Amino acid sequence: MAHSDQAELVFLPLGGVGEIGMNLAMYGYGPAHKREWVVVDMGVSFAGPDLPGADLILPDIRFLQAERNNLRGIVITHAHEDHYGALLDLWPLLNVPVYGTPFTAGLLEAKRQSEPGAPNIPVTVYRAGETFQVGPFEFEAIAVTHSIPEPVSLAIKTPLGTVIHTGDWKMDPEPALGPLIDERRFRALGDEGVLALMCDSTNALRDGESPSEREVGESLREIIERARGRVAITTFSSNVGRIRSIALAARDAGRQTLVLGRSMKRMIQVASELGYLDGVPEFLSEDDYGYIPRENIVVVLTGSQGESRAALAKLARDEMRSVALSPGDTVIYSSRAIPGNEKAIIDTKNMLIEQGIHIISDGDELVHVSGHPRRNELKRMYEWVRPRILVPVHGEAAHLVGQGSLAAMAGIPEVPQVRNGDVLRLAPGRPEVIDQAPFGRLFKDGKLIGDEEETGISERRKLSYVGHVAVCMLLDAKYNILEDPEVVPYGVPETDAEGELFEDLFYDVTVEAVQSIPREKRRDLAMVREAIRRAVRSAANEVWGKKPVVTVFVTQV
């Protein structure tokens, strides 16, 4: 079949469309048989208890690796983990140019230095307002507001039209850091003509507009001023604007600020070097903590998502060497719960409440505001840009469909719904899904990366539910049982309902399984192993209702 030489502009998400996190979008230009590609963002998701042992979830980049020779670069919109967090692990598989803002480049380097063996990734730095070329794509970075320094939207210009990839954004009239969203530039692009708007859908189900960071800062100052004891505030470490607001609120209330948590200290170091914390009083060290009166200190710390190794969880367990909380102190959750983290957050809160700590969350007072647009903000963006096509991205199915309905009601002509792996042709012609690309998840497990099978996570999950039994059997030269088999159950109940030891039960069925096999057939050791394995699992299932993972060793001596 002959290939068409007609150039096409296509969009292909490999992560972040149909889910929250792990954002990775691809844009392709050219005929199908010689298409050139660029990647926008390369993020991670965080593993929950259903993935025992996994440290991070990464996008599967099989398609990217197959297209390596046609891949012209990776452009990062901002330095949130769900947008740039997979770079250190996946870039060595691609080794292509990377583009990012100064803050992104600085944070990536600080992160590299804290991870032994991490690759040194050269980053071409760009700033909001600048344009740069990546293969056949001309990029223009447009300033937006979000919950991290230097977020941008990207106008991607091609011979077939201009696409605006919003990244994460909101319309904050009084942000804590950085410029306002560049309304003038968005409107100008709309006047020039925008083919497609790839738009953040995270808050597409929420009516109205988001409060400003200034309002959050004022609310935090009021809470700090009226608090009687210490105040500890946990927030996302990347929210430098919020950290700045807290430090200034503490200063205005006559308090000093202490920072706890490695990732937050790293973020503050980079932000300070770039001038984002100019005018903020110097932070205390942990050694100063015990000398400061309770009513004169504010602690800013990691752990807003209930992470067991973060500073807040350690405080809740009273495991920190120099820092502790006391009854009557206040802990403020200046954050939202990422879906899946609710139980861990509640567990940490309960430990703090047991200590007599007062908890304030977003539902109690204005202590947090999202960095994503609500419905009125989305509609204003549509009015500015006036795209022919609106593609909802960055969200779960409910968010994507919610924004799709809003865009259709706003009069946008084409609102296709796509999911990870869909190859959406944007031009020429009407938007249409024309192909499927392989996509999925990889897992970072310690120093290794692989799928569930390669990392052993699927087996670990089984073990976490049903435990493990190891059986060791020795047969003599005539294939008789030489010694009593050794049975080692792990993660299995000690006794059954009648009080019989499981170990004894497994011993008995192991011997019976071997004795039930005619001696001349015991030469087939694989058959003996399988007979023992089946017998142990069947016995466990009969008295317990579960089948453990069973490993059998049969040796003939």
Q: Which helix (H) or strand (E) holds 424?
A: strand 422-427
Are residues 233 and 172 part of one domain? no
Strand order in the sheet with 131-134: 131-134, 137-143, 152-158, 161-165, 196-200, 389-393
Are residues 382 and 353 part of one domain? no
Residue with tokens 């400061």: 292
pLDDT band at 455 (very low <50, low <70, confident <90, very high): very high
In CATH, what number is assigned to the domain containing residue 255? 3.40.50.10710
Residue 243: inside a domain: yes
As a whole number, mean pLDDT of residues 137-144 equals: 98
Q: Which of 338, 360, 382 is the last residue of a domain?
A: 360
Q: Which residues contact 179 (CB under 8 A, 6 or more apart)?
A: 128, 143, 145
Q: Which residues contact 373 (CB under 8 A, 6 or more apart)?
A: 169, 170, 171, 200, 202, 203, 210, 381
- Paired with 390 in beta bridges are 197
Q: Which of 360, 379, 412 is the last residue of a domain?
A: 360
CB atoms closer than 10 angstroms to residue 95: 11
pLDDT band at 545 (very low <50, low <70, confident <90, very high): very high
Are residues 534 and 481 part of one domain? yes
Helix, strand or coil, per DSSP, at residue 282:
coil
Residue 520: inside a domain: yes
Confidence (pLDDT) at 338: 83
Are residues 489 and 471 part of one domain? yes
Give 159-204 pLDDT, tens digit per residue.
999 999 999 999 999 999 889 999 999 999 999 999 999 999 999 9
Q: What is the C-alpha separation between 197 and 174, in angstroms, rounded?
A: 25
| Nearest partner of 177 among 210, 209, 217, judged by Cα | 217
Tokens of 187: 């409107």
Are residues 167 and 34 part of one domain? yes
- Paired with 427 in beta bridges are 9
pLDDT band at 9 (very low <50, low <70, confident <90, very high): very high
Give 300-346 pLDDT, tens digit per residue.
999 999 998 999 999 999 999 899 999 999 999 999 988 778 999 99
Say how far residue 449 (Cα) sits from the centre of its chain.
16
As a whole number, mean pLDDT of residues 217-228 equals: 95
In CATH, what number is assigned to the domain containing residue 508? 3.10.20.580
Q: What is the C-alpha separation between 547 and 430, in angstroms, rounded?
A: 54
Residue 389: inside a domain: yes
User: How many domains are contained in the chain?
Assistant: 3
Q: Which of 312, 331, 360 is the last residue of a domain?
A: 360
Residue 460: inside a domain: no
Confidence (pLDDT) at 339: 77
Buried b (16+ CB within 10 A) or exposed e, 486-510: ebebeebeeebeeeeebbebbbebb
Q: Roughly what angle, to the nearest 10 degrees, separates helices 375-385 and 183-192? A: 50
Residue 365: inside a domain: no
CB atoms closer than 10 angstroms to residue 471: 24
Q: What is the C-alpha separation between 17 and 419, in angstroms, rounded?
A: 5
What does the angle CA 212 – CA 218 – CA 224 come to, to the nearest 5 degrees?
140
Give 265-314 pLDDT, tens digit per residue.
999 999 999 999 999 999 998 999 989 999 999 999 999 999 989 999 99
As a whole number, mean pLDDT of residues 527-549 equals: 96
| Nearest partner of 231 among 380, 58, 352, judged by Cα | 352
In CATH, what number is assigned to the domain containing residue 173? 3.60.15.10
Confidence (pLDDT) at 66: 97
Give 34-88 pLDDT, tens digit per residue.
999 999 999 999 887 788 888 899 999 999 999 999 999 999 999 999 999 999 9
Q: How many helices (H) and strands (E) does the chain have?
A: 16, 25
Residue 281: inside a domain: yes
Are residues 289 and 229 part of one domain? yes
Helix, strand or coil, per DSSP, at residue 291:
helix
Q: Which residues contact 447 (CB under 8 A, 6 or more apart)?
A: 117
As a whole number, mean pLDDT of residues 337-357 equals: 93
Are residues 200 and 137 part of one domain? yes
Q: What is the C-alpha separation between 542 and 529, in angstroms, rounded?
A: 20
Are residues 258 and 141 part of one domain? no
Q: Which helix (H) or strand (E) holds 162?
A: strand 161-165
Residue with tokens 């004022």: 218
Q: What is the C-alpha separation between 101 and 96, in angstroms, rounded?
A: 17
- Which residues span the domain enclosing 300? 213-360
Q: What is the C-alpha separation between 204 and 403, in angstroms, rounded?
A: 5
Q: Which helix (H) or strand (E) holds 556?
A: strand 549-556
Q: Could you tell me whether strands 123-125 and 98-100 are parallel, antiparallel, or unpaired per DSSP bridges?
A: parallel
Are residues 55 and 175 part of one domain? yes
Q: Which residues contact 202 (CB under 8 A, 6 or more apart)?
A: 20, 168, 370, 372, 373, 394, 395, 399
pLDDT band at 2 (very low <50, low <70, confident <90, very high): very low
Tokens of 338: 């990422």
Q: Percent of the chain, pLDDT > 90?
A: 90
pLDDT band at 3 (very low <50, low <70, confident <90, very high): low
DSSP label at residue 331: E
Confidence (pLDDT) at 1: 38
Are residues 177 and 34 part of one domain? yes
Tokens of 194: 């925008």
Mean pLDDT across the chain, nearest whole number? Answer: 95
Give 404-424 pLDDT, tens digit per residue.
999 999 999 999 999 999 999
Residue 140: inside a domain: yes
Residue 458: inside a domain: no
Residue 473 confidence (pLDDT) above 60:
yes
Q: Percent of the chain, pLDDT > 70?
A: 99
pLDDT band at 246 (very low <50, low <70, confident <90, very high): very high
Are residues 131 and 16 part of one domain? yes
Are residues 254 and 284 part of one domain? yes
